[in-house]
């Protein structure tokens, strides 16, 4: 079965499983979406949402976080992993937005990736979920699933993103990357499916008998 055939099966199964797909992170505006994505590194979305639900009602603009300062930001997010590093990024990110972008989140990859703490994956999430621009954010979880489903031989998320963009039509990217995230969490778990039990794995590889090992990004 080639990638074109597999992509059709995957799209069909994911659209049936998740006709409407929620965004995992809660936010009030594009800026708080950006903050939440930064906080989600090495942390579960559930933990991020639990922390930010007490923050965003009061602090939801760059000027709020600049006024708070690094130490107070640290106290607000201390239940999140590597909170000191993240507090530093959020503080300087907020200062940069005010200084260079009039307090607004920029709408281009180039400008987003120049912000403190923002890499390509984070920029892709903002372009996709914040601005509705066709993007395919690939994290380590999507990278794992793409390998397991035989859609990429990429050794890193950059190559995997390129491969997935070639396989799937541009119009599906924004919804699809979220569908893959949810499906991986519920049905094709790292230490559960192993490439042989979920519907996608069985449909794409009906003759696969042995668990498949995936390489970390």
Domain boundaries in the chain?
A: 3-21+136-204, 30-130
Catalytic pick among 88, 95, 104, 121: 121
Q: How far is CA 75 from the centre of its chain?
A: 25
Q: Could you report the per-residue pLDDT of 168-181, keeping only the tens digit for each?
A: 999 999 999 999 99
CATH topology of domain 30-130: Endonuclease III; domain 1 (1.10.340)
Residue 95 has phi, psi (to 5 degrees) of -65, -40
CATH architecture for the domain at 3-21+136-204: Orthogonal Bundle (1.10)
189 is catalytic: no
Below-50 pLDDT ranges, the chain: none
- CA dist., res. 133 & res. 67, Å (int): 31
Per-residue pLDDT tens for 21-47? Answer: 989 999 999 999 999 999 998 899 999
Active site residue 121: yes
Tell me if 160 sits within 8 A of 117, measured CB to CB: no
Structure tokens at 209: 């008998």
């Amino acid at each position: 079965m080639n990638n074109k055939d597999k992509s059709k099966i995957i799209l069909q199964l994911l659209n049936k499983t998740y006709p409407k797909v929620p965004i995992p992170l809660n936010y009030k505006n594009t800026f708080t979406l950006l903050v939440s994505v930064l906080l989600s590194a090495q942390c579960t979305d559930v933990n991020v949402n639990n922390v930010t639900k007490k923050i965003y009602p009061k602090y939801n603009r760059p000027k709020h976080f600049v006024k708070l300062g690094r130490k107070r930001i640290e106290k607000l997010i201390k239940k999140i992993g590597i909170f000191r590093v993240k507090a530093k990024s959020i503080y300087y990110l907020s200062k940069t937005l005010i200084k260079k972008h009039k307090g607004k989140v920029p709408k281009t990859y180039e400008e987003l990736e120049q912000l403190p703490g923002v890499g390509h994956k984070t920029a892709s999430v903002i372009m996709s979920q914040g601005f509705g621009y066709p993007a395919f954010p690939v994290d380590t979880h999507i990278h794992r699933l793409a390998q397991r489903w035989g859609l990429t031989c990429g050794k890193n998320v950059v190559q995997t993103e390129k491969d997935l963009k070639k396989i799937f039509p541009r119009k599906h990217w924004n919804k699809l990357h979220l569908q893959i995230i949810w499906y991986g969490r519920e049905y094709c778990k790292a230490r559960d499916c192993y490439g042989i039990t979920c519907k996608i794995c069985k449909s794409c590889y009906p003759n696969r008998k042995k668990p498949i090992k995936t390489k970390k990004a």
